[in-house]
Structure 1
């Protein structure tokens, strides 16, 4: 118990909390400058999220894909890589799950797991391709992963239009009922909110993240390669293989997120003119969460509440939705700018040190 308390009193916990508070304050100032009431706006946001069971359930639904993409970005970062391609991996996971869900005719106990597995593996392979380009050709993963996002978008649109979308329509057929992962009874409890098993899978993925990275030999190698590839190679570790493995696991998380979004929420996929944005939001979630699995969950909760509650601010206080992005951007800024946050925390930290001495 004392160890748990110690974790929550470290600077690593205080800095994100202070960053969130400062971000909300900056958002309040922006609202005041625009002639809006920030207290009413934040009350409206909370009312939208927690005012009834349906909206609370939909908030959980909004949080779920952010956990997946946040884990994807955080895992790669923990191994010394920058996975800016979670968006493309999310898209590839969704199109793969859609294909399996629409075209296969299997029993429910095989169909849904198969669609999830295929979605996750395809997302992982999409990430592994970026890792291979870095390992084999020395191409920086930031460049390739960004470009692979666009390749994934247009490639998925091609698969949809060529194989899954009926002529004259812009969306695929619905996935078969045997592939749907809706959380039936719990969804009814939340007034038919679109809750699904993906939320449970996302939490399990966070546990998997922790166990693999900090409790296994493979995880130790992944972290060692990220910290110092030259020393790791000297110690006998296969650096290139670990780079590809790290990007595969990161892509696996994002691919699972895309699969869950199709199978649990929409039950079809439309030809998309633009990216859904979950992968890019995952970068912010990972940053807010300090690139730890538990932190990612908390970051996704914050991000999901702010995003879903934006409509409450709009209709309850007349605040434009764009202002919620100012709040989110402010939080990210203060999380990144540790020096500014520590300046505000200096009196608190100084008192804590005096108390210990």
Structure 2
């Protein structure tokens, strides 16, 4: 099968069709709002990819979405429905941020320690749900969803009543020391940044990305490559992939589901805590702000991205950049055309709804297909072996009589 033919089949698949239909329906909403859809989408595209600042903002917005999406995909791929990445990322950000802000010491020691604490706290919060399922039979889908609320309110209480800096206008902690922050790939006040401005221009994509995106981009790339390696080259990746497809088969193969769930939730929660923490110390962010992570809605956007990409790391990267571009572009569209940025949420929701409909429609058609010769349980399985089915007319009532005959012939 040629590459062009496979690409054509993919274009006719559920994902591209769902995206196109969502954009068309979004255009209808723009018409209702009195905005030309072509102008609206042109402003959206230009705001997200057409300028250096827009590209930098899109990548910065995509990093936490993709990272948390990888954390969700690790669990979903193993058949573990982890809906608690919001709480895991929030507590990881809180714990790591406390270490980064309040623990004294050189940055060379504080930064790795803060990362370790954030990952450990996120993993521990995820393990609570795994233990509840293994010991008490509480479904992880339910426990992870409910555990988001104590994580959210505990973080808000701690920041508001114990970490709040009185001199700040925000309900927020003290600032992270500059040496502890994840700086931009190229610090804006460095000589190299000045060279980039003189060579490529101050607003060029190269200059904007290198001086407007912090080192969490490099960490994200390493995590994506690590996820691909684990899925394809490790025993855990093989077992988790099979468990997501057929848990009974894996159980009969000697894999214990309890330890697998523990490992999966620890890994998923740890990754969520890592990317939540990088939102705190990654420049230009400098504080623990009450409710900031909840308001960004990154965890639930990452869930949509994971579902759209079918748990594949490369697909999550593509879908994450796509959703981030919609969010950044809708902000630009709102500034230029006066249209509400909520159109981004409408398009995202439409993509998922249409994708679910497109995937489920063939199954509904198959179930609703009429049976001509009787009920499904009365239909014999077609025999493909020419020895067992010598003619099409023999399939049916003659098939049981053919089986002993074949057995005798084989004994001879």
Q: Deviations over 1:280-317 (max 9, x none)?
A: 11111111212100000011101100011111111222
> Are residues 19 and 273 of structure 1, via their aligned partners in 2, closer, same or farther at CA, if it must alter by over 3 Å?
closer
CA distance in 1 between counterparts of 2:265 and 2:245 reads 16
Q: Deviations over 1:246-269 (max 9, x none)?
A: 111111221111111111041211
Match of 2:179, SS?
Answer: helix
Structure possessing the higher relative contact order (Cα contacts under 8 Å, 6 or more residues apart): 1
Query: Is 1:289 matched up with 2:309?
Result: yes
| The structure with more radius of gyration | 2
2:186 matched residue in structure 1: 185
2:374 matched residue in structure 1: none
CA distance in 2 between counterparts of 1:8 and 1:164 reads 53
CA distance in 2 between counterparts of 1:13 and 1:250 reads 33
> How many residue pairs are counted as aligned between the two chains?
342
Query: Is 1:271 matched up with 2:271?
Result: no
Query: Is 1:197 matched up with 2:218?
Result: no
> Are residues 283 and 309 of structure 1, via their aligned partners in 2, closer, same or farther at CA, if it must alter by over 3 Å?
same
CA distance in 1 between counterparts of 2:58 and 2:240 reads 34
Contact persistence 1:87–1:149 (CA under 8 A): yes
Contact persistence 1:165–1:173 (CA under 8 A): yes
> 1:235 pairs with 204, 228, 253, which one?
253
More off after superposition, 146-155 vs 293-302: 146-155
CA distance in 2 between counterparts of 1:7 and 1:291 reads 20
2:177 matched residue in structure 1: 176
CA distance in 2 between counterparts of 1:297 and 1:94 reads 22
1:332 matched residue in structure 2: 352
Task: Give 1:322 deviation, angstroms.
Answer: 1.8
Normalising by the residue count of structure 1, what TM-score does the alignment of the two structures yield?
A: 0.87
Query: Which consecutive residues of structure 1, in runs of 5 or more, have no partner in the other structure?
Result: 343-357
Query: Which consecutive residues of structure 2, in runs of 5 or more, have no partner in the other structure?
Result: 194-206, 363-412
| Larger proportion of helix | 1
Task: Give 1:56 deviation, angstroms.
Answer: 1.9
CA distance in 1 between counterparts of 2:11 and 2:251 reads 31
More off after superposition, 113-122 vs 172-181: 113-122
More off after superposition, 267-276 vs 328-337: 267-276
1:89 matched residue in structure 2: 88
1:254 matched residue in structure 2: 272
1:351 matched residue in structure 2: none
